[in-house]
């Protein structure tokens, strides 16, 4: 591994194809024999620092259409929280089901699961049939793993019946020194960014792009008012930028003054601090409180000069969904990709049908959407929102930060990168965008 790292850091990347691939590498895992370790505990008490391990993993064979990547950096996504707390179910069920589909997929069905769905790094090997990429290429990887053997996914690969999220529903993910991906997950790394910055937007930026911009999502247009829950979080920090860049009007919801400030610094003007204003959308475990939906809607109108949101960017789920349906404008869209606070949603359907609103489900992004989202990063139009970077050994703590909502923007992880700040190939462009790139840094 040392030789590989040296070749990357000294710029001798073209030699990588000739260097031997290590038999083992270090990767962050959950273990199949520990899936009951948090049984009976409330979700909040489940601690990813206990369930995530740093193991030596045998390097998998590189199959047709695949690539083996030397991972310089990765980032934490909420799916690693779900893997680490074994909710809503252990991810080993995904690996088992995938493993049964073919002999080659059987490599993924292991008693360990190397997690992580983002990376920046360098191609080490490509499998048979891969022509678009070669050893030495500097890349990021999006997390759509897809077979496309059936017709269903050929308009939109997210509709393929064999669609999976790499590093969550497949093994050999990005929180590791090496990672196995399909070659059609690869995209060019932005050359004005460091490894850890480049690794951080992938999953959330692509998801927010499809959710808001794509015709598969809410198809946002100029002037749209967009209510963004968690506007300084992983998804939200990209949603806010996409709305501002696309000529929309974000209404950012956050839970602290510091988070409000970072939204303001991104250019948002309309901000609601849900903690300070103390919205309680539920009277108790089973009963919603429509008066609070109304108070929230009134606050949005105060900020917008009387307008309701054309689009509600939803992901908190159960806790906020009733309010989201209520506040969307007549004919508006509630676009949802998640249910962080619970997936059994309740809302008053009268506000949906009588006001001709739509609820649209969305999930990650197809290759084209991920490519477009990455293109915006490469052109310096959308920026990483990295707040802090941990070494690979501290991935448990990094995941804990997300689980406890202690973070802002994205939490990065150094994998092979020996220090922060490496990997920049275009310092002039970086200098032009430095304030934007560093906006979320907590240093
Ligand atoms: P994140 O970085 O933790 O950000 C989420 C933000 O939501 C938090 O910063 C928090 O902001 C806000 N929030 C959390 N709980 C809330 C609640 N009960 N009520 C209101 N706001 C709440 O996570 P993320 O990366 O943005 O991901 C968010 C969710 O989307 C996760 O469940 C994740 O699994 C899912 N996701 C799905 C996809 C997909 O493809 N389907 C892709 C990415 C993420 P404040 O405290 O400041 O309000």
The CATH classification number of 218-361 equals 3.40.50.720
Q: Taking residues 352-376, report their average pLDDT.
A: 98
Residue 11 has pLDDT above 90, yes or no: no
Are the C-beta atoms of residues 250 and 230 closer than 8 Å to each other?
A: no
- The pLDDT score that the predictor gives to residue 195 is 98
Q: Whose CA is nearest to atom 14 of ligand 1?
A: 316
Helices (H) and strands (E) in the chain, counts: 14, 18
Residue 293 has pLDDT above 90, yes or no: yes
DSSP letter string, 332-343: -EEEE---TT-S
Percent of the chain exceeding pLDDT 90 equals 96
| Residue 304, Ramachandran bin (φ over 0: left; ψ between -120 and 50: alpha; else beta) | alpha
Other beta carbons within 10 angstroms of residue 143's beta carbon come to: 28
Q: Tell me the domain boundaries of the chain.
A: 2-204+365-437, 218-361
Q: Taking residues 383-408, report their average pLDDT.
A: 96
What confidence tens digit (pLDDT) does each residue in 338-361 have? 999 999 999 999 999 999 999 999
Residue 419 has pLDDT above 80, yes or no: yes
Residue 122's DSSP bridge partners are 70, 138
Q: Whose CA is nearest to atom 4 of ligand 1?
A: 233
Task: Give residue 340 CA to ligand 1 midpoint distance, Å.
Answer: 6
Among 363, 405, 406, 409, the mutation site with the greatest number of ligand 1 atoms within 8 A of its Cβ is: 405
- The pLDDT score that the predictor gives to residue 313 is 98
What confidence tens digit (pLDDT) does each residue in 232-290 have? 999 999 999 999 999 999 999 999 999 999 999 999 999 999 999 999 999 999 999 99
Q: Which CATH superfamily is domain 2-204+365-437 in?
A: Medium-chain alcohol dehydrogenases, catalytic domain (3.90.180.10)
Strands (E), 167-326: 178-182, 186-188, 225-228, 249-254, 270-273, 311-314
Task: Give residue 327 CA to ligand 1 midpoint distance, Å.
Answer: 19
Are the C-beta atoms of residues 344 and 260 closer than 8 Å to each other?
A: no
Q: Taking residues 386-409, report their average pLDDT.
A: 96
pLDDT-derived band of residue 443, with 50, 70 and 90 as boundaries? low
Are the C-beta atoms of residues 403 and 397 closer than 8 Å to each other?
A: no
List CB contacts of 89: < 8 A, sequence separation 6 or more.
none
Distance CA 305, CA 246 (A): 20
Distance CA 101, CA 126 (A): 22
Distances (CA, A) of 411 to 17, 365, 408: 31, 21, 8
Indicate whether residue 279 lines ligand 1 (CB < 6 A).
no
Residue 315 has pLDDT above 80, yes or no: yes
Q: Taking residues 203-219, report their average pLDDT.
A: 97
**What phi and psi values does residue 65 have, to the nearest 5 degrees?**
75, 5
Residue 229 has pLDDT above 80, yes or no: yes
Token pair in block for residue 165: 């999220």
Distance CA 185, CA 135 (A): 15
Indicate whether residue 365 lines ligand 1 (CB < 6 A).
no
Q: Whose CA is nearest to atom 30 of ligand 1?
A: 338
Task: Give residue 317 CA to ligand 1 midpoint distance, Å.
Answer: 9
Burial of 151 (0-12, 13-18, 19+ CB in 10 A): exposed
> Which atom from ligand 1 is nearest to the alpha carbon of 339?
32
Compute the residue count for the chain.
443
Distance CA 301, CA 58 (A): 57
Task: Give residue 239 CA to ligand 1 midpoint distance, Å.
Answer: 12
Residue 363 has pLDDT above 70, yes or no: yes
Q: Taking residues 55-66, report their average pLDDT.
A: 97
What confidence tens digit (pLDDT) does each residue in 70-94 have? 999 999 999 999 999 999 999 999 9
Burial of 42 (0-12, 13-18, 19+ CB in 10 A): exposed
The 3-state DSSP composition of the chain as helix, strand, coil percent (nearest 5) reads 35, 20, 45
């Amino acid at each position: 591994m040392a030789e590989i790292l040296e070749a990357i850091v000294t710029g001798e990347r073209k030699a990588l194809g000739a260097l031997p691939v290590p038999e083992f590498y270090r990767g962050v895992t959950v273990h199949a024999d520990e899936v009951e370790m948090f049984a009976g505990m409330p979700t909040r008490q489940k601690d990813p620092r206990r369930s995530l391990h740093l193991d030596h993993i045998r390097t998998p064979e590189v199959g047709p259409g695949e690539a083996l990547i030397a991972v310089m950096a990765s980032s934490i996504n909420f799916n690693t929280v779900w893997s680490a707390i074994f909710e809503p179910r252990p991810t080993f069920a995904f690996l088992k089901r995938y493993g049964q589909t073919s002999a080659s997929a059987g490599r993924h069905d292991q008693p360990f699961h190397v997690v992580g769905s983002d990376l920046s790094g360098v191609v080490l090997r490509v499998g048979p049939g891969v022509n678009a990429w070669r050893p030495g290429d500097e890349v990021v990887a999006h997390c759509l793993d897809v077979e496309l053997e059936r017709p269903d996914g050929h308009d939109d690969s997210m509709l393929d019946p064999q669609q999976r999220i790499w590093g969550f529903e497949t093994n050999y993910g990005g929180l590791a020194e090496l990672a196995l991906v399909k070659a059609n997950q690869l995209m060019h790394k932005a050359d004005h960014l460091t490894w850890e910055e480049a690794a951080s937007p992938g999953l959330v930026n692509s998801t927010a792009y499809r959710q808001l911009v794509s015709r598969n999502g809410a198809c946002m247009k100029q002037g749209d008012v967009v209510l963004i829950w968690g506007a300084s979080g992983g998804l939200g920090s990209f949603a806010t930028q996409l709305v501002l860049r696309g000529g929309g009007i974000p209404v950012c919801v956050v839970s602290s003054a510091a988070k409000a400030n970072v939204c303001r610094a991104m250019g948002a003007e309309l901000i609601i601090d849900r903690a300070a204003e103390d919205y309680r959308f539920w009277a108790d475990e089973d009963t919603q409180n429509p008066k609070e939906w109304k108070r929230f809607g009134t606050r949005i109108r105060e900020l917008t000069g009387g307008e309701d949101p054309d689009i509600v960017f939803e992901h908190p789920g159960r806790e906020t969904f009733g309010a989201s349906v209520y506040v969307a404008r007549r004919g508006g869209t509630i676009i949802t990709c998640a249910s962080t606070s619970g997936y059994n949603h309740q809302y008053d359907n009268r506000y949906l049908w009588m006001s001709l609103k739509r609820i649209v489900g969305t999930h990650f992004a197809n290759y084209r959407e991920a490519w477009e989202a990455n293109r915006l990063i490469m052109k310096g139009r959308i920026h990483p929102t990295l707040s802090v970077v941990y070494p690979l050994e501290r991935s448990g703590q990094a995941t804990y930060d997300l689980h406890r909502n202690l973070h802002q923007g994205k939490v990065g992880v150094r994998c092979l990168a020996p220090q922060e700040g490496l990997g920049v190939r275009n310092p002039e462009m970086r200098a032009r965008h430095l304030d934007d790139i560093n906006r979320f840094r907590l240093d």
